Chain A
Amino acid sequence: MSTPQPPAPQQPAPHWQGAPGVSYTSPIPVVRTHLGHALASEWTKIKSVRSTMWTLGIFLLLVVGIGFLVATQTEDEAFTDVPFTVPAFFGLVLGQICLITLGVLVVSSEYGTGMIRTTFTASPQRHRVLTAKLLIFFAVAFVVSAFAIGLVGLFTQSLHGDTTGNEWGGTVLKGALYVSLLGVLSLAVGSMLRHSAGAITAMLGVVLLPAILPAFLLFSDSMRKIGEKMLDYNAPNALAKIFGLDNEAGGGNAQLGLLVGVTAAAIVGAYVLLERRDV
């Protein structure tokens, strides 16, 4: 053909060959979707990937394994002024990293694989998906960590049970709440950063830096105040307070409160970014 026809970009009325007037209607009844559907979906998701089994398996191994070891190596007198759940503390300091990893992976693995586009195409109500993820993950993390801490407490009590008046039920709930909230914070950070390695690194920084930095900050007078605050509120120290390892009053409530605040702020940030950004 010799005359290259210029493309006609502005065709006012493309004439259609008669599209049939009937349009398709599915025989399957359409239900109005709600959070319950998203929760069921996220439950299927979290239990159908191996990373869940791995991270939670290692978490249980660390908390219960180290807990049992510590319990067998301690004397009865050690539990006169600390709860029977203290052996779980040592495992939790390591095990919280597993929950951080799982929390990040729950959301960032969807971004990494492109699954998120499929998810948000199926449910353009993005906030509902994130809510379901947060709730399901929190429930799983809380149940598993409470189970692990409780198991260690029961075991320790059965070994050193003659100490009377040792109330340790509260430490199970608070300890489980603390590590689960760390996981939820990781999920929110993962949703904002959308990158597994980046989000896990960021969370390790959040957990470890306040525990390490005070060692340097305390040398300088001007930084001493910040250093002391970090020392007081860092994650391992917060867990230590929850398990009554230092004899101050409060039992780590202030530390728990700070984590609740930080997590809430991160969740708000995650929701805002989720609705605004392109996927």
Chain B
Amino acid sequence: MIEAVGLTKRYGDKTAVYNLSFQVRPGTVTGFLGPNGSGKSTTMRMILGLDNPTSGQVTIGGHPYRKLQNAARQVGALLDAKAVHGGRSARSHLLCLAQLSGIPARRVDEVLGVVGLQDVAKKRSKGFSLGMGQRLGIAAALLGDPQVLLFDEPVNGLDPEGILWVRNLMKSLAAEGRTVFVSSHLMSEMALTAEHLIVIGRGQLLSDMSVKDFIAQNSAGFARVRTPDTEPQQREKLTAALTEAGGQVLPEADGGLRVTGLPLPRISDLAHGADVRLWELSPHQASLEEAYMRMTQGAVDYRSTIDQKEGLMQPLPPGAQPPAPVPGQGQPGWYAPPPPQQGGQPFAMPPGMPQGQPPAGPYGAPPAPGAPAPGQPNPYATEAPAGPQPPAQPSAPAHAPADPNKPEDAR
């Protein structure tokens, strides 16, 4: 069990971790989530006694790490894949670690087999790929057969087979009653592996709950409603009626409405009462990835902006129009709900997810609301690959050419 109390770390005037308190229990995989630079690795290093906290403390099984007798037999850690002297062979690397903790040398060959590196055991680790480096790091963590395991970004650089292997390995380690603490910046990965989530942003605790609760709290469903496109006044009428009944209504780029706080039958009744015809009324679930992004969007340190390429541009001839900027990107809050037929993420779908959404790429970010029209210069826009339009969905095509001048989702 890992227990942190009021953990704070400052580097000069930059606070990397502030007042972090949490517990990591044995028997489950606990995910540690946060954007880049949110303090995950700093926290991991403080747990391992590599960095001294500015204030607060963290203990493993009740003891500070640096007071542990034979730490490698109690705690195994994968910090970064290449924390290895590249000139040393994989076997020598593990052997010197084993000797340091009085672990018999045959255990080295055993863990080399476990991670599948036995064929390159005599090779210098300098030539290892990122995935092989990760495997060597995992081998080092498993070497002492420890009760507590920490993995910092374990799936980085692994191929799909390796990712599956790590996922199952962590689950089986936890099932044996060990404490498994895994950091990641991929919500989708954690949703598949972890049972408990600790989310931090800018070094502070954002959430500490089980994945089940996280889904329940952060991935609440909504209803999508569409009134006839030809009669905008019907849309206004319905919006007024729904708001009056206590629902929250958000207009969507393609003319639909996103309604929360009202059950579907009630929406139908209200529409009927207001004498509004509906073209669509469907239940939707916001994905976990989306919930995570929304939770951490205020805490993202490094945000990309559009490459304007102004330094490369010729002066425009008089009268020419500069290309319109891509709406959404680079602006605060562009992670806000995308149109539902594009926002579906194949990962972390809670059961009962409405079917018939075009598949987005596994890590494809939801496109910005009001996706740019095809042909518009937008080289870096992350756009989910356009899936085949399901015939069952009578709504407008997902990539309807949106008017670039149209105001974005009012939020």
Q: B50: which of A5, A30, A33, A120 is its contact (CB, 8 Å)?
A: A120
Cβ–Cβ contact B26 & A117, under 8 A:
no
Q: Mark A107-126, 1 if CB is under 8 A from B, else 0.
A: 00110011111111111110
Asked if A7 is at the interface (CB within 8 A of a chain B CB), the reply is yes
CB of B19, distance to nearest CB on chain A (Å): 9
CB of B135, distance to nearest CB on chain A (Å): 14
Cβ–Cβ contact A123 & B220, under 8 A:
no
Q: Which of A76-130 contact B (CB under 8 A)?
A: 109-110, 113-125, 129
Chain A residues near B205: list those with CB within 8 A: 9
Among residues of B, the one whose C-beta sits closest to the C-beta of A42 is B96
Q: Which of A23-42 contact B (CB under 8 A)?
A: 23-28, 30-33, 37-38, 40-42
Classify the secondary structure of B's interface with A: mixed
Q: Mark B29-52, 1 if CB is under 8 A from A, else 0.
A: 000000000000000010011111
Chain A residues near B204: list those with CB within 8 A: 9
Cβ–Cβ contact B97 & A278, under 8 A:
no
Cβ–Cβ contact A48 & B100, under 8 A:
no
CB of B310, distance to nearest CB on chain A (Å): 33
Asked if A4 is at the interface (CB within 8 A of a chain B CB), the reply is yes
Among residues of A, the one whose C-beta sits closest to the C-beta of B72 is A122
A28 and B144 CA atoms in complex are apart in Å by 8
Among residues of A, the one whose C-beta sits closest to the C-beta of B199 is A7
Cβ–Cβ contact B217 & A119, under 8 A:
no
Q: Mark A34-66, 1 if CB is under 8 A from B, else 0.
A: 000110111011001111000000000000000
Asked if A11 is at the interface (CB within 8 A of a chain B CB), the reply is yes
Cβ–Cβ contact B71 & A123, under 8 A:
yes
CB of A9, distance to nearest CB on chain B (Å): 5
> Given contacts A2-B222, A19-B27, A23-B177, is CB(A7)–CB(B295) below 8 Å?
yes
Chain B residues near A113: list those with CB within 8 A: 82-86
Q: Which of B45-78 contact A (CB under 8 A)?
A: 45, 48-52, 65-73, 75, 77
Cβ–Cβ contact B70 & A117, under 8 A:
no
Chain B residues near A20: list those with CB within 8 A: 26-27, 177
Chain B residues near A278: list those with CB within 8 A: 45, 50-52
CB of B197, distance to nearest CB on chain A (Å): 10
A8 and B198 CA atoms in complex are apart in Å by 12
Cβ–Cβ contact A1 & B101, under 8 A:
no
Q: A17: which of B45, B147, B210 is its contact (CB, 8 Å)?
A: B210
Q: Which of A130-187 contact B (CB under 8 A)?
A: none
> Given contacts A9-B204, A20-B27, A26-B145, is CB(A49)–CB(B85) below 8 Å?
yes
Q: B248: which of A2, A26, A45 is its contact (CB, 8 Å)?
A: A2
Among residues of A, the one whose C-beta sits closest to the C-beta of B149 is A24
Asked if A22 is at the interface (CB within 8 A of a chain B CB), the reply is yes
A116 and B206 CA atoms in complex are apart in Å by 32
Interface size band for B: 35 or more
Asked if A250 is at the interface (CB within 8 A of a chain B CB), the reply is no
A39 and B405 CA atoms in complex are apart in Å by 71
A26 and B92 CA atoms in complex are apart in Å by 23
A9 and B209 CA atoms in complex are apart in Å by 11
Cβ–Cβ contact A22 & B27, under 8 A:
yes
Chain A residues near B295: list those with CB within 8 A: 7
Asked if B158 is at the interface (CB within 8 A of a chain A CB), the reply is no
Chain A residues near B146: list those with CB within 8 A: 26
Cβ–Cβ contact B51 & A279, under 8 A:
yes
Cβ–Cβ contact B27 & A7, under 8 A:
no
Cβ–Cβ contact B89 & A48, under 8 A:
yes
Chain B residues near A31: list those with CB within 8 A: 70, 101-102
Asked if B103 is at the interface (CB within 8 A of a chain A CB), the reply is yes
> Given contacts A23-B147, A41-B100, A49-B87, is CB(A121)–CB(B28) below 8 Å?
no
Q: Which of B96-125 contact A (CB under 8 A)?
A: 96-97, 99-104, 107
7 closest Cβ pairs, A-B complex: A114-B83, A48-B92, A31-B102, A26-B145, A41-B100, A24-B177, A20-B27
Please give 19 more A-B residue pairs, beta carbons under 8 A apart, in addition to A7-B295, A24-B147, A117-B83: A1-B291, A5-B218, A17-B196, A17-B210, A19-B28, A26-B146, A26-B147, A33-B101, A37-B101, A37-B102, A38-B100, A44-B95, A45-B96, A114-B79, A117-B48, A117-B80, A120-B50, A122-B140, A123-B100
Binding site for B on A (CB under 8 A): 1-5, 7-9, 11, 14-17, 19-20, 22-28, 30-33, 37-38, 40-42, 44-45, 48-51, 109-110, 113-125, 129, 276, 278-279
A-B contact pairs, 9 of them (CB 8 A): A2-B337, A23-B1, A23-B179, A31-B101, A115-B85, A118-B97, A122-B71, A122-B97, A124-B49
